[in-house]
Structure formats: structure tokens, C-alpha cells
Structure 1
Amino acid sequence: MKKLLKKIVTFTLLFAIVLGYNSSNLVFAKNIVITVQPKNFIGKVGDQFSASVTAEGTGLSYQWQYSKDGGKSWKDSGMASAKTATYSFKIASGDLGINYRCVVRDSSGSSVISESRKLSTGLRITVQPKDFAGKVGDQFSASVTAEGTGLSYQWQYSKDGGKSWKDSGVASAKTATYSFKIASGDMGINYRCVVRDSSGSSVISESRKLSTGLRITVQPKDFAGKVGDQFSASVTAEGTGLSYQWQYSKDGGKSWKDSGVASAKTATYSFKIASGDMGINYRCVVRDSSGSSVISESRKLSTGLRITVQPKDFAGKVGDQFSASVTAEGTGLSYQWQYSKDGGKSWRNSGVASAKTATYSFKIASGDLGINYRCVVRDSFNNTIITNIGTLNEMKNEDWELPIM
């Protein structure tokens, strides 16, 4: 009898494999799934608010909740409709700005919470103000366009780069278009507009700057070379009475020093590369006649170390020969393959012989399945670059050959 039962089980499993049967064919108890989330609602006091949720499950019940602190804390709504899939009520002044969501429970007591949405008057900025370039005596002008009910405006300015803001006192500061004659003390200020609606809700525009038009139009580029080569980097800027100061960093951009070479005060920075220069970052500070300044993007002087072909995922089973490769460009390259058994949270250097070569290979053991791997590539100047992460996957059932019957 036991032999017969074993044959039946074996035949059933083989039959399932032949038919492509997998776990997705099994039927389990249905979980709660929200298929349609509630939406944001735009309205005003006196309007009829309505929000709905659609869910799948057994014996579902609903409880809508609201938050008046941006979602930090939630309370069950006491409205009659708060225990239905569609939540509705007449909007009162205290309702504007609330967040709302729905808790859906099934007959087993399991629950799922919908996404949070907001009830607002539809206050939003549709056209942001722009930067303004001008000089003392010019007429400054900046505008904002917003949608909402009963809008009011207050333009603000900052003289510390946006750390602190003050309401502007000029007449136009309470209109959608802010304008005044530029004085010397105005150069370099930041400005923005606070827009409020009749419910007291507010939205702040993006911050913009009043300057002499100083801007960098062409950024410097990375430079790849070796000791003895002539280094060169350039920046192109627009503005009045421009001056330049190139800077360098030997700690990856944490701290910067002014370069002392003659070309460091020109738009094109050049010098003969020494061994101590390899790996530095460089940038240019450009100033105009008003004292405003702008800093270029940071770039790097390197030996051109880069990965041209990344390692790929590998699928196999215990006993197979694993193999992954990397291709890189640079001078005096060395390799160290690493592995992770916690999904990439921590990494260890591999100790197999091939782990210090461009091609990493070994015979797969049971503990190797599911690991992540990557390669750290170094050049002769100790610059490093790390490859993308690959995964050693167990070969799927559908990739196996069927047993011969």
C-alpha cells in the first residue's frame, strides 16, 4: 500500500511539472486588497465632500479617519458615512486642509489602510516666479500665478541665501506682480511669494534670485591623464566684471583650497600633472563686479578608471561552475570580488583564488545560492570604482530537464 501511495504522489508531481503547474495555481484564502484608492478632494465650505475606496475580501467593514496635523495622528470620523465605502459630508470651515484615509477590515479581523488624501480649496501655484538679472537703477519685476478662492499675496525677501525671510514693505509686495527700482542693497537678494486663500491655507512659491546675470554656461569636465601630462579645464560664464579662482580638494570635496598656480585665476586652469595631483577634485569660483559669486560643478582628475562591462546575474545549482566577469579601463588595475549574504547590507572580500582577477569563478556550494557579488577595481593611484551588483540565483524548475520516464 505504501509503495502504491508513493507511486501516486510521484506521478502527480511529474504530471504537474509537465503541465507547467506552479504555486500560482494553488487557491489560498483571499487577503484584503484595496483595488481603488481614495482621491484628493477640492472644494469650499458648504460643498458636499465625497471620497470612496474599493476593496476585495470577505465580510468587509470600513472606518474612515481624519488627521488635522498632516498625518501625524489620526481619529475615527463620527459621520454616519464614515463606516461605508463612500465617505461624504458637507464641508465646514474646520474641515479644509484635513487628511483622510480608510481602514478596511475583514471578517477575520485583518485590516489594511488606504493611502492618505487631502481636502483642500485647490490652492496651488501654476506659474512660478523667475530669476531676475539687472543692475542698480533698473526696474525689477517678478510675477506669480495661482489658483484658488479669495487669493492674497505677500512677497518676501532674504539677504542670507534663504535662511531667514522678511515681508517686503513696497506697495507691489501685496500683489501678484512684485516690482521696484533696484538699489545697490538689493543685488543678490532672494525673493518668493506667500499666497493665501480665503480658508487661511497658504502655499509658498519657489525662491528666486536678483543678480547681475552671473551664471555659468559651460561647466568644466573630468580630466583623465597620467603624471607628466598637461592638465586643462575650462569654465564659461556670463556676467559683468568677471574674476576666477580655481580650487582643489584632496578629500573628495569635503574641504577646498585656492590653487596657487598662475592659471588658477583665469577661465582656463592648466598645469603639468604631478603624482600628488592624481585623484584631486577641482572647481571654479566665478565672481562679478557686484561681489556675487557662483561655483562651478566639481570635477575629478583621474587616470581614466572606469568600468566598461558590468558583471551579470548567474543562475545555477549546487555543483555547477559559477563565473562572473568585469571589464575596466585604467592604469595598473587590480581586482577584489566581494560577496554579501544579507542582500547587500554588508560585504566581505572573497577568499577564493579567482577573487583577485577580472573573472570570478568557483564551484557552487549550497550556501552560495542567493548571494550577491560585486567587484572593487583599483588603479595604480589607489582610485577605486565598484561594479554593479549581481545575484547568484538557484536555477528555476522550468529550466531543469524533465526526468526520463
Structure 2
Amino acid sequence: MFECIKCNFSVSATGSGLTYQWQVSTNGGSTWASAPGTSTSSSYVISTLTNSLDQNKYRVIVSGSSPCTAVTSNAVTLSVTGVSIGSSASTVCANSNVTLTATSTSSSPSFTYSWSSTSGSGASTPITTNPAVITPTVAGSYTYTLTATATSGGCVITSTQGVTVNPQPAITSATATPAPICAGSTISLAAVINAIGTGNATLGTQSTTTLTGGPYRGGSCTANKTQFLITASELTSAGINPGNINSLTFVTTSTGSALANFSISMAHSSIQT
């Protein structure tokens, strides 16, 4: 969003009974139309500058009783400076760094930058560096607001960048097999995290039939996955008739920690006749 100072065009002309018609071209001067909110005075003001006005051309036609012939001014081009922002990652773990960068679309004017967000985001106190290295500490979805202020002219540009912060997985247990061992022997190390836990899949329409399953594949905190495989024979045994499955219901009784930003999907592995 652009909240810049007003843009004021003006022309100086001599004569009597002068009238002014301001025009705008959005295609480089090929065609012209009356400028929005056209003023009939010697000045034309654009109250709100937006990026869509960048490179528009403006001119004025001056008419009067003396001289009688209308005169068209030279065209001037409006340049609107914008700021684009980007993030080093759209999803990070809590207590990990994310870098936010602002880039001006023009070398002039120069800008000062301030990044801010809510508590737990790592930017509840504004950060005035660019790029800004931010460390969110609490899981959640955050919106970081950039306020870019021109060092001259008073133009202020604001924009936002969203970042999703997932909880940091915690190690609930670690085992070594065998333990102890002799020097030079091989040992197997295993760790269990509570980012996604094992559980029971309840199969059926409001039935109590259960299938016990566990994680099919585990990854980092940015890409954990649990998959339950249910065969056609198990569906039949649970009393589910052939046809389309239109919905799934999951009832969670307890979790080791908060589970944020998850999705549930369903698909068949193969079609058998």
C-alpha cells in the first residue's frame, strides 16, 4: 500500500478567460483521456499515489478568449517509487531465523525501514535493519508489517509478509541398542519426538472398530507426515459398503504438544476389481 504525499502538477499561462483541461495517458502517450477528478484550474492534484499510476503521462490543454487558439503543454511522466519485500522462507521452526528483505524499485529516494509484528513473532519490538534477521519464538502464523519511510519527500510505504512458524519438536526419549558395548562395536541409536505421535485409527461410521497404526514416515518439523493404510478387506469387515468416501472424521484424545498448521488428505493406493 502506498501512502505518499500528494502529487501537484501546475502550469503557468498568460491571457484572458483561460480554462484548463488536464489529461492523462496510460499507454505512453498514444491516447489521452480526461484525468480523474479533473481540475479546471492551473493546477492538478493527485491526492493518493498508487503503484498503478507509475509511468502515466500528464498534460494540460489551455484555452481562452485571448489567445483564441488552444495550447497543449508538454507531457510529463509520473514516477512512483515502490518497495517489494520477500522472505527467506515461508515456513520455519520456532527459534529458527527467517530473513525479511525490502527492495526499492528506484534508487531515489532512499528509505529507512522498520519491521514489526505481534508477540512471539520475534519482531514485537520494531526491527530497523534491512535485511532483517528475525527469530520467532512461538508457533503460529505471523504477519510482518514493513514501514518504509522516504528520507526526503515524506512518502510512507507499507507492505506485509506472512510467515508460518511450526513448533520445535521435542525429544521424548533416546535409546541405544545394545548398551553398553565394546570398543569397535556397532550401536543403533533411536530417538522419539512428539511432533507427531502414534495413535489409533477408528474405522467405520460411528463404530468402535479400531486399527492400530504408527507414523509411516517422519521428517523435520517442516514436513512431518503420518499415514494410515487401510485395505479394502478391512473396510468391508468394518461394515462399509462399496462406494465413494465423502468425508473423514478424526477424534483426537490427547497430544504431546500443540499441533499447528496441519492438513488431512485421502487417496487410494490402487484400484482393484
Q: Please indicate the TM-score interval, normalised by the length of the shorter structure.
A: 0.3 to 0.5
**Structure with higher strand content:** 1
TM (norm. structure 1) is: 0.33
TM (norm. structure 2) is: 0.45
**Structure with higher helix content:** 1
